[in-house]
Amino acid sequence: MKIPHFGLVRQYKNLKDELLDATDRALSTGQLVGGKYTKEFESWLAVKTKARYAITVHSGSQALEIIARYNISVHLGTSRSVLFPTIQLPNLTYPATLNAFINAGWNVELIDTDKNGIMNDKSRGPYVCLVGLYGRKPWPNLLSSYSSTTKGTRIIVDGAQHWLCADGDIGIGMAISFDPTKNLPSSGNGGAIVTNDEALYKFAANYKDNGKSTDFGVLGTNTKMSEQDCAQILVRTKYIDEWQERRHEIANYWIDCFKDLPLRCLTDTIGPHAHQKFVLYLPDRNSLHTHLLTDEIESKVHYEYTLGDLPISKNLVKPDMLGTSVMLSRGVLSLPIYPELTDDEVEYIMEKVIEYVDK
């Protein structure tokens, strides 16, 4: 029984006629960017995330960098200091999060995480970027309380993995990814910014179009989702709630099956979770990876290195080598989890994990 880590081929087969029809409708208009499908998708996204504004861009990384650039301009415009601000990031996440802030000119401090990979909620810098690692909502019931300057902490949210359970907790602004590996995938690439801040929305709309709305008086770039991508992703929005229910079902089943094994599920049933990944932690994860691969089950490591391990972090403040985030990176392993998995495949994966432990 061969089980790939991602279910993109299966999803396409299920939606092929609808996706091809959407592509034809989008291309037939002759307006390939910024048309009705883009506007319709942005409207859907604002409602889904309980935000006042949503604006699409080329990728989740670009979305986060635009939010970072906006907040640099706010900081330098109001601060008496000419120094660039420092933002705290969790030490365990994909490097795109770090790259976005470095590219925007921020100073970065890397903060250790808890046992589930979420940045310690005692972190209270003037700027904090929360990451919902693997789909877990960070700082439940706290994010909104610290999302304004009146509380002394300005929060930016990297929602690439958890945005479907954010429930309005979007801080100053939240970046979303529609990478093909995400819960709501684009056929190519795509990302978005959702926010309640009108000034951020206007900044992003101008920045993504090379500063056109200000007569090119400010810097910008060209970063858009195509009409074709938006038309196709609108097809997928019809199924996203159903897909999420299936992810929850699989995750809860495995959590129950694995609860007495000498390993730990980083996904649990406590608090909101989008189940973007199902991650196990065990000291010898490479042996389990090999065992599963022998049985044609593709697992992956998310993530093998912490941000502090990367060469670009050489001069950054970071946790020491005994930090929780470092420990996690040495033992995490992601199982396939997508709605198109059959019940037999879910059982087979479970059996092979237990078989490994019993050995």
**Domain end call among 188, 219, 237:** 237
Instruction: Clarify whether residues 29 and 47 are in a common domain.
Output: yes
Instruction: Clarify whether residues 115 and 20 are in a common domain.
Output: yes
Instruction: Clarify whether residues 189 and 310 are in a common domain.
Output: no
Tell me the one-letter amino acid at 270: I
pLDDT over 60 (residue 268): yes
Q: Which residues of 31-62 are buried (b: 16+ CB within 10 A; e: fewer)?
A: eebbbebbeebbebbbebbebebbbbbbbbbb
Residue 2, in any domain of the structure: no
> What is the rounded distance in angstroms from the CA atom of residue 268 to the CA atom of residue 125?
28
Residue 278, in any domain of the structure: yes
Residue 187, in any domain of the structure: yes
In DSSP notation, 144-205 reads GGGSSGGGT-EEEEE-TTTGGG-TT---SEEEEE--TTSSS--SS--EEEEES-HHHHHHHH
Residues 178-213 pLDDT 10s: 999 999 999 989 999 999 999 999 999 999 999 888
pTM of the model: 0.94
CATH number at 186 reads 3.40.640.10
Instruction: Clarify whether residues 258 and 274 are in a common domain.
Output: yes
Residue 27, in any domain of the structure: yes
Residue entry with tokens 């237990």: 354
Instruction: Clarify whether residues 71 and 42 are in a common domain.
Output: yes
Instruction: Clarify whether residues 55 and 180 are in a common domain.
Output: yes
> What is the rounded distance in angstroms from the CA atom of residue 119 to the CA atom of residue 92?
8
Instruction: Clarify whether residues 164 and 282 are in a common domain.
Output: no
Q: Which two tokens stand for residue 224?
A: 């858009």
Instruction: Clarify whether residues 78 and 192 are in a common domain.
Output: yes
Instruction: Clarify whether residues 56 and 191 are in a common domain.
Output: yes
Domain count, the chain: 2
Instruction: Clarify whether residues 329 and 193 are in a common domain.
Output: no
What is the domain extent for residue 96? Answer: 8-237
Residue entry with tokens 């973007």: 276
Rounded to whole angstroms, what are the CA distances from 311 to 270, 306, 319? Answer: 35, 11, 15
> What is the rounded distance in angstroms from the CA atom of residue 352 to the CA atom of residue 347?
9
Residues 35-88 pLDDT 10s: 999 999 999 999 999 999 999 999 999 999 999 999 887 766 654 455 678 999
Residue 282, in any domain of the structure: yes
pLDDT over 60 (residue 137): yes
Helix spans in 179-306 (H): 198-207, 227-237, 240-258, 285-294
